[in-house]
Structure 1
Amino acid sequence: MAVSKRRIWGWMAFDWASQPYYTLGLTFVFGPYFALVATNAFMADGMEKLAADAQAQSIWSAGQTIAGLLIAITAPFLGAFADNSGRKMPWIAGFSVIYIIASWALWGLEPSGAGLMWTLVIFYVGFFAAESALNFVNAILPSLGTEKEIGRISGSGAAFGYWGGVVSLFILLLLFVESPDTGVTLIGLAPPFGLDATQMEGTRSVGPFIAIWFAIFMIPFFLYVRDDPRLGGQSTRIAVVWGELKETLRGVLRRPSLKNFLLGSMFYRDALNALYAFGGIYAALVLGWTTIQIGVFGIVAAIAAAIFTWAGGLADQRFGPKPVIRFSVWLLIVVSCFIVGMSRDHLFIFPLAETSQVPDIIFYVCGMVIGGAGGSIYAASRSMMVRHTHPDRPAEAFGLFALTGKATAFVAPASISLFTFLTGNVQLGFLPVILLFLLGLLLLRWVNKDGDRAEWSALQP
């Protein structure tokens, strides 16, 4: 059955609408701002700078850990429930409302640190809503094209989302985010609407900005994407849904390709999320970058992500998703080694002059690789999941995908927290990330590049 272009573009609108939560919120504006506010608050309580930096990184990772565990617990059950009912759109709408409210509330984090922990909770409530909505949106992907077309559609959607991140970050940096030293934006303007630069209100407006952006650009999604009326019609009683989900989980053990893909992606996606979550914090704490510098870095990284994710989608269509994933993971291992081995005054064993720009240049290149390789992994992984998904149970399948993506979501943040605490060093805190990427690569060896839907059908009674 032919799929209308409006439905495909409507589906891709979700990536465009939701990307600012990750680009502006998690990585390049709010995350670093939160880290600096937290560090200053801890120093005001008597901590040394290095200990305060480590504590700021630890509480940020703790929030990510808890949110990841909640997503892991709820995603498979919600997916199974949605498959039985045949309705995904009400769930997407409900999580969208939570997303908007939580985003707007980020405004409340003042430079003094007032409401620090409350804001941390709010941010990860919004993160939970964004990720939960994404699971249902991903479950629509198998219905948008043939197996050969899915990789291109997934890559194009992810690339479209990254362009949304670029545009939103550009607007925020040029017009809103102020330098703490000068009180003006990147192009020398005072923040608009009478925002008080001394209270960092331009930077804090990232929350309302994300909320408004999402509300506007989700309109095409809700206009053109509908639930498939042919699906559903099964019992939505909790006992029935739970019984079917348990049977699905047992079935995974009889599907070696799916089992190894879920386990492998669990490790490499966990490592990738850690790079996203802590990249901006690393730049702020290790390299001493300002929010504006991190924002410019974010624009460069997001442009690279948009271009290379689109290219990755074309490569997926030609070669399949598995080679794209493997190549991208190797690139991220190299980047992680540089992050561990580089600071403001040295590059591995080589000392650097105090005024050297080498760390800045290298980290810009690292950012481009993280953006491009990370985007390609995201798009190719959901394309690979489609190859392991039964057409009648897409939400449940992507719920399992979310489960394995978040079941160990605490491992990378917790390991980073532990290594940072034990070493007292933000750089060395990234060592576990390299191991997680290597584990993911190892398990991919046993993944069928074409998926296992045929084998799955053969297992059914």
Structure 2
Amino acid sequence: MQVPVPRNNRKTINAWAMYDWANSAYALVIASAIFPAYYNSITKVDGSTRIGFFGSGIENTAAYSINLGLSFGLVALISPLLSSISDYSGNHRSYLKFFCYTGAIGCMLLFFFTGPSLVYLGLGGMMLATIGYSGSIVFYNAYLPAIATEDRQDKVSARGFSFGYIGATTLLILNLVFILNQEALGVKDDTLFPRLSFLLTGFWWIGFAQIPLHVLPKGLYAADNKGRNFLNGYMELRKVWNQLRAQPKLRTFLFSFFFYIMGVQTVMFMATSFGEKEIHLGITQLILTVLLLEYLGIGGAFLFAWLSKKAGNMKALMIAVGLWMLICAGSYFIITPLHFYMAAFFIGLVMGGIQSLSRSTYAKMIPETGNNAGYFSFFDVSEKTAMMCGLVMWGYLDNLTGSMRNSIVALAIWFTIGLILLIIADRKRPSLHYPHSLTNQKKPI
């Protein structure tokens, strides 16, 4: 039974968007800008980048990449369960709070990561933060259709995105100011301000999350134990998979998406590590690069939205994936900081565009079954599984060859496969008949 929730209420919507303000600090400060560079620096001993990891030696960046990949793999595994809890629980807010606090505590633990002997603490804190971030998003997203009518959901979702961007960049710039003024403040410990940024991220996350946790309704559905089945999320994924057999165009697109998004997400998470390890950039330079990526990502999203109107979604995606292939080819030969900044410029242009365009293309291709949530759950699990595969394979190749440059070759292969499958998908006709009385889609792509 639906719990009455006032829709299109400005106070409720702003409170909901503030959770994006709160948790996006993890995505920018921990996952993208400061922690990867700090981790690489703190785990390097006497010029050696190999660390002790479960009884064997491994490249520090390989351990980081594999740890991050396994984090997303775990989230992909439990996402259907979380979706079922979201559907059947009468207390969405408590689950949102649980994952919020889990992620924030993971960030705070990184403050105590002061050397290679505590590498398990560093990787464990990162894993907790990642699980908390991804797990809380499930319940955060579930509130959207409950607080806004369908005609306003795109606008409300965009508000959440903008709140998250402003909040995360505000905190990152604040941390940058402290790092740049370390000497002026008389601080001799080079690790202090980076570690304080991790601690501050945790407090920021929990602190600003109190606004949505106070304003948002306790639950979206009344608690009902009758017929509750927490395996429904997995059953829904199986149902979508069976339906995809009769939809060759959509199925081929999803396989293409799996390969190219594997490359995109791996670049986004490992670019900072590459800059620190291979180009020897400092934390300040890397933070400025990440800020550049953020600004360009927004412009790139609008650029590819315009391109999709002119050439169609599939052609625009082909152009984006083709550009990624060129970026990989050029990145293999990066030597100087200038080369890195040039690569970052082009990555920023295609980074936001390919993600937003992939989701909108998928939305146009799914059949009108009344089961959009199931299809998007499948899409989300596919993306997180791809992230796991990409990051683990990157780490494996990094450790095997001792150079992150060789992992770029794998990225180029993934993008090539994705482009070939995109071309095949574009040539396939949409299915005229779907199983289980699915209706035909007439959406232009």
Superposition TM-score, scaled by structure 2 size: 0.80
Following superposition, the deviation at residue 166 of structure 1 comes to 2.3
Pick the aligned partner of 2:206 from 209, 215, 218.
Answer: 215
Pick the aligned partner of 1:439 from 417, 425, 436.
Answer: 417
Aligned-residue sequence identity (percent) comes to: 17
Following superposition, the deviation at residue 139 of structure 1 comes to 4.8
- 1:268-417 matched pairs, under 5 angstroms: 268-309=260-301, 325-343=317-335, 359-387=336-364, 388=366, 396-417=374-395
Structure 1 residues not aligned, in runs of 5+:
179-183, 344-358
Contact 1:302–1:368 (Cα < 8 Å) also in 2 = no
Q: Deviations over 1:37-60 (max 9, x none)?
A: 11227839899xxxx9x8111111
Q: Could you say if the C-alpha distance between residues 247 and 430 of structure 1 is closer, same or farther in structure 2, counting changes exceeding 3 Å?
A: same
Following superposition, the deviation at residue 31 of structure 1 comes to 0.7
Pick the aligned partner of 1:426 from 404, 409, 412.
Answer: 404
Structure 2 residues not aligned, in runs of 5+:
1-5, 440-445
- 1:39-50 matched pairs, under 5 angstroms: 39-40=44-45, 43=48
Pick the aligned partner of 2:104 from 100, 105, 112.
Answer: 100
State the superposition RMSD in angstroms: 4.0
Q: Match of 1:288, SS?
A: coil
Q: Deviations over 1:361-397 (max 9, x none)?
A: 2322322332342223333334445443879656544
Contact 2:334–2:340 (Cα < 8 Å) also in 1 = no
Distance 1:82 1:46 in 2: 40
Matched, 1:161 2:164: yes
Q: Could you say if the C-alpha distance between residues 83 and 59 of structure 1 is closer, same or farther in structure 2, counting changes exceeding 3 Å?
A: same
Q: Deviations over 1:91-119 (max 9, x none)?
A: 32221111111111110111x32311221
Q: Could you say if the C-alpha distance between residues 363 and 161 of structure 1 is closer, same or farther in structure 2, counting changes exceeding 3 Å?
A: farther
Q: Match of 1:40, SS?
A: coil
Q: Match of 2:189, SS?
A: helix
Superposition TM-score, scaled by structure 1 size: 0.77
Q: Match of 1:114, SS?
A: helix
Following superposition, the deviation at residue 290 of structure 1 comes to 1.0
Matched, 1:170 2:173: yes
Q: Could you say if the C-alpha distance between residues 164 and 261 of structure 1 is closer, same or farther in structure 2, counting changes exceeding 3 Å?
A: farther
- Number of aligned residues: 426
Following superposition, the deviation at residue 249 of structure 1 comes to 3.5
Q: Could you say if the C-alpha distance between residues 406 and 240 of structure 1 is closer, same or farther in structure 2, counting changes exceeding 3 Å?
A: closer
Q: Deviations over 1:160-200 (max 9, x none)?
A: 5333332221111102x36xxxxx44xx5327xxxx54251
Q: Could you say if the C-alpha distance between residues 91 and 171 of structure 1 is closer, same or farther in structure 2, counting changes exceeding 3 Å?
A: same
Q: Look up the equivalent residue of 1:78 and give its one-letter code.
A: L
Following superposition, the deviation at residue 292 of structure 1 comes to 1.3
Q: Could you say if the C-alpha distance between residues 340 and 4 of structure 1 is closer, same or farther in structure 2, counting changes exceeding 3 Å?
A: farther
Distance 1:234 1:315 in 2: 50
Distance 1:444 1:5 in 2: 41
Of 64-73 and 332-341, deviating more is 332-341
Q: Match of 1:410, SS?
A: helix
Q: Could you say if the C-alpha distance between residues 457 and 134 of structure 1 is closer, same or farther in structure 2, counting changes exceeding 3 Å?
A: farther
Distance 2:357 2:235 in 1: 31
